[in-house]
């Protein structure tokens, strides 16, 4: 598994569905560089079980992300038509109707490969034929990308393990606090709590205050 933290997020152009129903060609995260932080997350497949709980949870928190000037973008190996169908299926029928943030189609699996979240890999069999070993879907990867397009946080869960949207917000808050104030954020930090200077004295002062 590659560590992308500190590196530029891989660029791509792909089909996507935005605003719950609109098809877009050549969707790219590049449009946010210089303008917004980005939460870019992968999920395994449309019309599954854990995935809608995460996607709907992100939608419920969209006001919080927008207040922080953060774009939320999802991605799976499904086609844009599958995304559109799922986005237009009622929640009671297993759909995610009402979700408005972009869902990217990684039908070729190259985006998942470039972010190194593909749950398997291509190889050659004894006949020299290319085959795929493993599940040809993405792990539950999440990447926090800053305004310069650099990955500052990544989290990758196995397929059965849903993510915490509140934790994603906390990481946004921590990054933005550091960017604005230059102070680093200790364990379990939340807005309004003390941060600290990245020096030996700063750490000692913080620990002394929070015995």
Report domain extents, the chain. 14-161, 164-211
Higher pLDDT, residue 11 or 200: 11
Q: What distance in Å separates the CA atoms of residue 195 and residue 206, rounded to the nearest whole number?
A: 8
Query: Given a cut of 90, is residue 133 above it in pLDDT?
Result: no
Of 135, 108, 98, the C-alpha closest to 15 is 108
- Whether 86 and 96 have beta carbons less than 8 Å apart is answered as yes
- Please report the pLDDT score of residue 197 as a whole number: 86
CATH number of 14-161: 3.40.30.10
The predicted-structure confidence for 47-91, as pLDDT tens digits, reads as follows 998 989 999 999 999 999 999 999 999 999 999 999 999 999 999
Query: Given a cut of 80, is residue 202 above it in pLDDT?
Result: no
Of 184, 152, 150, the C-alpha closest to 168 is 152
CA distances from 143 to 30, 96, 154, 155, 192 (A): 15, 22, 4, 7, 24
pTM: 0.92
Mean pLDDT of the chain: 93
List the structure tokens of 38: 């980005």
The predicted-structure confidence for 146-198, as pLDDT tens digits, reads as follows 999 999 999 999 999 999 999 999 999 999 999 999 988 888 999 998 888 88
- Please report the pLDDT score of residue 123 as a whole number: 80
Of 26, 19, 57, the C-alpha closest to 41 is 57
- Residues serving a catalytic function are 51
Query: Given a cut of 90, is residue 127 above it in pLDDT?
Result: no
- Please report the pLDDT score of residue 203 as a whole number: 60
Of 75, 79, 84, the C-alpha closest to 19 is 84
- Please report the pLDDT score of residue 37 as a whole number: 98
């Amino acid at each position: 598994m590659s560590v992308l933290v500190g590196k530029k997020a891989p660029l791509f152009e792909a089909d996507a569905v935005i605003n719950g129903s609109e098809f877009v060609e050549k969707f790219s995260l590049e449009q946010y560089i210089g303008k917004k932080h980005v939460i870019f997350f992968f999920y395994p497949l449309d019309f599954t079980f854990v995935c809608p709980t995460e996607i709907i949870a992100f939608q419920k928190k969209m006001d919080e992300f927008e207040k922080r000037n953060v774009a939320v973008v999802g991605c799976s190996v499904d086609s844009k038509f599958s995304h559109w169908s799922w986005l237009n299926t009622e929640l009671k029928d297993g759909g995610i109707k009402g979700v408005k943030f972009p869902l990217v189609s990684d039908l070729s699996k190259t985006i998942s490969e470039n972010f190194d979240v593909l749950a398997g890999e291509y190889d050659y069999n004894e006949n020299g034929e290319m085959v795929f070993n493993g599940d040809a879907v993405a792990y539950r990867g999440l990447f926090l990308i800053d305004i310069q397009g650099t990955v500052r946080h990544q989290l990758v869960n196995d397929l059965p393990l849903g993510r915490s949207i509140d934790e994603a917000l906390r990481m946004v808050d921590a990054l933005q606090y550091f960017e604005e104030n230059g102070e680093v954020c200790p364990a379990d930090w939340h807005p309004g709590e003390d941060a600290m200077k990245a020096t030996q004295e700063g750490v000692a002062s913080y620990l002394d205050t929070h015995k």
